[in-house]
Structure 1
Amino acid sequence: MFSLMKAAVGGLTGVCRVNGHQQGPLHCHLKVLVAGLQTYEIPPDYSDVVLPAKPKLKFVNKVPNLKKPKREPKKLRDIQGPTRGADSFTQGQYGIVALGGGYLHWGHIEMMRLTINRKMDARTMFARWCISGPYKPITRKGLGQRMGGGKGAIDHYVTPVRYGRLIVEVGGKVELEEVKHILTEVAKKLPFPAQVVSRESLAALKKKHADMEQNNQNPWTFKQIVQGNMLGIRRVVSPFDVHHCGRFSGKFHFPGRV
């Protein structure tokens, strides 16, 4: 019996030495088997996750419910600068955040609804909107009309979006890798740059900008130059740039500027 064990080990006739101790051939064979075992991570606990009764995205009306719609000016300030709300998660763990300003048409909203609802598993995950339906009127004149004659008629409605606003959030008993390909497909089709984020990555993104301001070693920042009115720069700088310290140019955001 012992001779068969030595043959199985590989023909070892002597003893092996590990850390200066003499051990038998059977013990060496057991250590080889143990070296191949892997330690797996503990799966996440979803015991506190509660799925809503209607987990899928709701249908959004193409036109707002108004008794008497009114025409409005362009108001490009609706898409300039950072968002004033909806910049953090409420229920979900993953979502899409806007990295620039722009207008969402009803077609974009319907594309997001159909793509996410078709590819998500309603038994383990849910999705919810972080934006409202189209409410800003966009006017347009008919083809071939001459200039003048006042403002044109309302053609369609859009939803203004600013930098840092969450568009849609997804949650449930899922991990990021299970929904990342769905959200990435949606983010690529939006009319402004967008990124797939989680609760941790969104907090890290905000902390990164705060660390850049705190650990900045350049003494001449945009804020100090404007406040000191060096070379009379206040004559050519708009109040918008003074308020946001040059981090935004219209609907565009400069992530590397402090």
Structure 2
Amino acid sequence: MSSILIPTNALWMIRSLTKPQCYVQTAAYMKLKTPKNYDHIEYPERRKLKMLEKVPHPIVKTSSNVAVQQKSEAKYCRGPEPIHNKLIYGQYGVQALDGGFLTFKHIENWRLFINFKLTNTMFARWRIDAPWKPVTKKGTGKRMGKGKSPISHYVTPVKAGRIIVELGGEIDYKQVYKMLRHVARQCPFEARIVSAEILEKEQQQEKWIAENNLNPFSYKYCAKNNFMGIKKDLSPYDLIWFGKY
């Protein structure tokens, strides 16, 4: 029999026609997150932090043209903050955990840092007042006595639970974390980074504990009823806030 030479291209075509067709579709399935909707965000008129005054204006002076001095009272930073303890814009902020005083150096440092990091889709807002409480200090090398010292600088009292600065806009928690961490670390008291979800969960948890607590001997009950003579070891403020602040 005579052999027939068939080219390789023809062999490939014959095999493809005789064998059943089998199509394999390979595709890489990627988990894509849907972008967040920022239509509900309300932007303030001024998106960057404004410069707060270093000295209160006008300054209250006496008849001898000397600025009025105050006592070094701790009542301005003791206890919880009753008003400015929630986020107005419902996104992110820095919250004080203890009471303390903020100087103009703290406020100005945070203003320069945050305004430099802000983008066109972000905004920031102060939740504290400008420094208004005077702090007196004697000059170096002077002896004690001879009345009240002159005013050295002004500070802003902050109570526990107060929101110091608030950030928002078309941003995520990861983008804001480094900016707010810079503020929380430089506070002269303990502070933390909070969001609207964190504050809401804590409020729900406190409410659930108060409703489902089966232990009748709470701190409030023992303090009010002088359980085992505990009042002699408590301060007057423990009978007001019951050991929280």
With the shorter chain as reference, the TM-score category is 0.7 to 0.9
* In structure 1, distance between residues paired with 2:183 and 2:111: 10
- What is the DSSP-based 3-state SS (H/G/I as helix, E as strand, rest coil) of the residue aligned with 1:239? coil
| Post-superposition CA distance 1:87-118 (Å, at most 9, x none) | 11112511101111111000000011011001
- What is the DSSP-based 3-state SS (H/G/I as helix, E as strand, rest coil) of the residue aligned with 1:243? helix
Question: Any conservation in 1 of the 2:60–2:68 contact (CA below 8 Å)?
Answer: no
| Post-superposition CA distance 1:133-184 (Å, at most 9, x none) | 0011111111222222111111111001111100000111212211111111
Gaps of 5+ in 1: 6-12, 15-23, 249-258
Gaps of 5+ in 2: 1-12, 62-66
Q: Of 173, 194, 197, which residue of structure 1 is paired with 2:170?
A: 173
Question: Any conservation in 1 of the 2:42–2:89 contact (CA below 8 Å)?
Answer: no
| Post-superposition CA distance 1:70-97 (Å, at most 9, x none) | 1111111221111121111112511101
What do you get for the CA RMSD once the two structures are aligned?
Answer: 2.4
Decide whether aligned partners of structure 1 residues 228 and 53 sit closer, same or farther in structure 2, where only a CA change above 3 A counts: closer
Residues 1:234 and 2:231 are matched in the alignment: yes
Aligned to 1:64: 56
Report the alpha carbon displacement of residue 25 of structure 1 after superposing the two structures with TM: 5.0
Residues 1:88 and 2:65 are matched in the alignment: no
* In structure 1, distance between residues paired with 2:156 and 2:16: 78
Q: For residues 1-258 of structure 1, what are the structure 2 equivalents within 5 Å? A: 25-26=22-23, 29-30=24-25, 33=26, 36-65=28-57, 66-68=59-61, 69-91=67-89, 93-121=91-119, 123-248=120-245
Question: Any conservation in 2 of the 1:92–1:127 contact (CA below 8 Å)?
Answer: no
Decide whether aligned partners of structure 1 residues 4 and 184 sit closer, same or farther in structure 2, where only a CA change above 3 A counts: farther
Letter in structure 2 aligned against 1:46? Y
* In structure 2, distance between residues paired with 1:104 and 1:126: 22
- What is the DSSP-based 3-state SS (H/G/I as helix, E as strand, rest coil) of the residue aligned with 2:180? helix
Give the greater-gyration-radius structure (CA): 2
The TM-score with structure 1 as length reference comes to 0.79
- What is the DSSP-based 3-state SS (H/G/I as helix, E as strand, rest coil) of the residue aligned with 2:177? helix
Identity level (%): 38
Report the alpha carbon displacement of residue 238 of structure 1 after superposing the two structures with TM: 2.3
* In structure 2, distance between residues paired with 1:197 and 1:163: 14
Aligned to 1:20: none
Decide whether aligned partners of structure 1 residues 141 and 45 sit closer, same or farther in structure 2, where only a CA change above 3 A counts: same
Question: Any conservation in 2 of the 1:115–1:186 contact (CA below 8 Å)?
Answer: no
* In structure 2, distance between residues paired with 1:41 and 1:97: 30
Report the alpha carbon displacement of residue 185 of structure 1 after superposing the two structures with TM: 1.6
Question: Any conservation in 2 of the 1:57–1:113 contact (CA below 8 Å)?
Answer: yes
- What is the DSSP-based 3-state SS (H/G/I as helix, E as strand, rest coil) of the residue aligned with 1:238? coil
Question: Any conservation in 2 of the 1:223–1:245 contact (CA below 8 Å)?
Answer: yes
* In structure 2, distance between residues paired with 1:2 and 1:131: 83
Question: Any conservation in 1 of the 2:136–2:152 contact (CA below 8 Å)?
Answer: yes
Question: Any conservation in 2 of the 1:92–1:170 contact (CA below 8 Å)?
Answer: no
Report the alpha carbon displacement of residue 61 of structure 1 after superposing the two structures with TM: 0.8
* In structure 2, distance between residues paired with 1:3 and 1:239: 96
Letter in structure 1 aligned against 2:151? I
Report the alpha carbon displacement of residue 3 of structure 1 after superposing the two structures with TM: 6.1
Report the alpha carbon displacement of residue 241 of structure 1 after superposing the two structures with TM: 0.2
